[in-house]
């Protein structure tokens, strides 16, 4: 992994430390003045060492370009790579500003007006080596109709014609299985509008598929803990990755299960907002995993189901309720095992991204009803 020196001015410290935290979460090393320049150190020597990092990230804002001491920091990186071939200097724009001089011709990563997830994706995409070509580039024109007399087309249509009720049952079956770990688990299952495998056996068994799924699970959607590590196992068209606190199951047909902790360690209550965030992570994983499993876009819609295992033995609170009374917890569903819930319609694949927050909110509402009655 690479090392990054974060160059910033004081008013942008929150941006600098957020960028550093994201890079370190992805396995990189960072040097940021707020964390690494400690009392008793020689500032000039520390800065000299910092500038030896593989890359310098300049946190661009009006204050940055107006500051006296930031200029030499980015200029040192520019001087080491004036052509930009090795991308020694990577500007990151966090505020609107007019650039002039040498900085205006360097392509920057733009975090302006982005939500956290969008900003994280832009940052990670921007530092990634190579081209920014996506895995799949959709055809911008009209889709050519399939010849109705084609035997293969007829077979594909038959395979894809899975009734919604059957999709729901498949999704509910995924989340109905008891978890193998301890504690309280949030389980989210997805069943696609197709039963047949999406990839040929040789394609699904390729190491590339596991590698790409693990990259999504560990570094993009972050449903798995990168520090914990876990090997993937295969059996009869199924990939499983299990950690102590979370796991995922991926079938060659596109059926998927994501299990995450429903409560933080040591907590005796499910916090609604935390549950919402974890459901969004699961939906994000589903969306990206289907791009890997279904490169020819055979799946047109999906059904979703969810369950909170062990919910009958924990409380259910919002963040505001916990803050108002942190020592009081009631267990509204004590002793009554909640069933799996499902959303009442199928979803187009793009809705897993465009309507992710709304889907998660509906999930939380249904789970709340099931737990609290």
Q: What is the DSSP string of 233-275?
A: EE-SSEEEEE-SS-EEEEETTS-EEEEEESS-TT--EEEHHHH
Residue 138 has a pLDDT of 65
Model pTM score? 0.60
Q: How many Cβ atoms are within 10 Å of 77's Cβ, its own excluded?
A: 22
Mean pLDDT confidence for 353-362 = 93
Residue 155 has a pLDDT of 45
Residue 137 has a pLDDT of 66
Q: What is the mean pLDDT of the chain?
A: 86
Tell whether the model's pLDDT for residue 198 goes beyond 60: yes
Q: How confident is the model at residue 180 (pLDDT cuts 50, 70, 90)?
A: low
Mean pLDDT confidence for 230-242 = 90
Cα separation, 258 vs 190, in Å, equals 9
Q: How confident is the model at residue 298 (pLDDT cuts 50, 70, 90)?
A: confident
Residue 147 has a pLDDT of 45
Longest dimension (CA), the chain: 80
Note the pLDDT tens digit of each residue in 116-164. Answer: 888 898 999 899 887 776 666 666 665 555 444 444 444 444 454 578 8
Residue 183 has a pLDDT of 62
Take residue 139 and report the two structure tokens written for it. 């055809």
CATH superfamily of 3-127: Toll/interleukin-1 receptor homology (TIR) domain (3.40.50.10140)
DSSP state at residue 217: I
- Any idea where the domains of the chain sit in the sequence? 3-127, 161-372
Mean pLDDT confidence for 334-358 = 86
Q: How confident is the model at residue 344 (pLDDT cuts 50, 70, 90)?
A: confident
Q: What is the DSSP string of 115-132?
A: -HHHHHHHHHHHHSSS--
Q: Any idea which of 17-21, 174-178, 288-292 has the lowest mean pLDDT?
A: 174-178
Residue 245 has a pLDDT of 85
Helix 207-215 / helix 272-293 crossing angle, nearest 10 deg: 150
| H-helix or E-strand spanning residue 211 | helix 207-215
Note the pLDDT tens digit of each residue in 268-297. Answer: 788 899 999 999 999 999 999 999 999 888
Nearest to 340 by CA among 314, 315, 303, 313: 303
Tell me the residue ranges of DSSP E strands in the chain: 3-7, 29-32, 55-60, 89-93, 109-110, 185-192, 232-234, 238-242, 247-251, 256-261, 269-271, 301-309, 315-317, 341-342, 347-348
Q: How confident is the model at residue 107 (pLDDT cuts 50, 70, 90)?
A: very high
Note the pLDDT tens digit of each residue in 62-85. Answer: 999 999 899 999 999 999 999 999
Contacts of 312 (CB under 8 A, 6+ apart): 331, 333, 334, 335, 336, 337, 338, 371
Residue 319 has a pLDDT of 87
Take residue 12 and report the two structure tokens written for it. 């942008």
Residue 149 has a pLDDT of 46
Tell whether the model's pLDDT for residue 13 goes beyond 90: yes
Tell whether the model's pLDDT for residue 263 goes beyond 70: yes
């Amino acid at each position: 992994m690479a090392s990054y020196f974060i160059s910033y001015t004081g008013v942008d410290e929150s941006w600098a430390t957020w960028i550093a935290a994201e890079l370190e979460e992805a396995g990189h090393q960072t040097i940021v003045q707020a964390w690494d320049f400690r009392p008793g150190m020689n500032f000039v020597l520390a800065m000299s060492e910092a500038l030896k990092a593989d890359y310098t990230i300049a946190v661009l804002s009006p204050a940055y370009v107006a500051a006296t001491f930031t200029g030499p920091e980015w200029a040192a990186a520019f001087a080491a790579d004036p052509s930009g071939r090795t991308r020694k200097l990577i500007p990151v724009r966090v505020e609107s500003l007019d650039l002039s001089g040498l900085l205006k011709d360097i392509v920057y990563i733009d975090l302006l007006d982005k939500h956290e997830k969008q900003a994280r994706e832009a940052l990670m995409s921007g530092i990634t080596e190579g081209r920014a070509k996506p895995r799949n580039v959709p055809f911008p024109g009209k889709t050519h109709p399939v010849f109705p007399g084609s035997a293969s087309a007829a077979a594909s249509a038959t395979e894809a014609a899975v009734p919604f009720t059957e999709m729901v049952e498949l999704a509910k079956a995924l989340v109905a299985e008891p978890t193998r770990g301890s504690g309280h688990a949030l389980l989210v299952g997805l069943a696609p509008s197709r039963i047949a495998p999406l990839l040929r056996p040789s394609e699904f068994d390729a190491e590339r598929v596991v590698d790409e799924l693990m990259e999504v699970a560990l570094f993009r959607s972050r449903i798995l803990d990168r520090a914990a590590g876990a090997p993937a196992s295969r059996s009869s068209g199924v990939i499983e990755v299990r950690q102590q606190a979370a796991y995922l199951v991926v079938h060659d047909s596109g059926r998927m299960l994501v299990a995450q902790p429903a409560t933080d360690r040591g907590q005796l209550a499910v916090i609604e907002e935390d549950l919402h965030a974890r459901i969004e992570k699961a939906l994000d994983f589903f969306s990206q995993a289907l791009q890997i499993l279904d490169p020819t876009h055979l799946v047109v819609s999906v059904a979703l189901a969810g369950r909170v295992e062990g919910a009958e033995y924990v409380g259910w609170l919002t963040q505001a309720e916990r803050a108002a009374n942190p020592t009081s917890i009631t267990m509204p569903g004590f002793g009554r095992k909640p069933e799996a819930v499902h959303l009442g319609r199928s979803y187009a694949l793009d809705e897993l991204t465009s309507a992710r927050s709304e889907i998660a909110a509906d999930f939380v509402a249904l789970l709340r009803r099931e737990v609290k009655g």
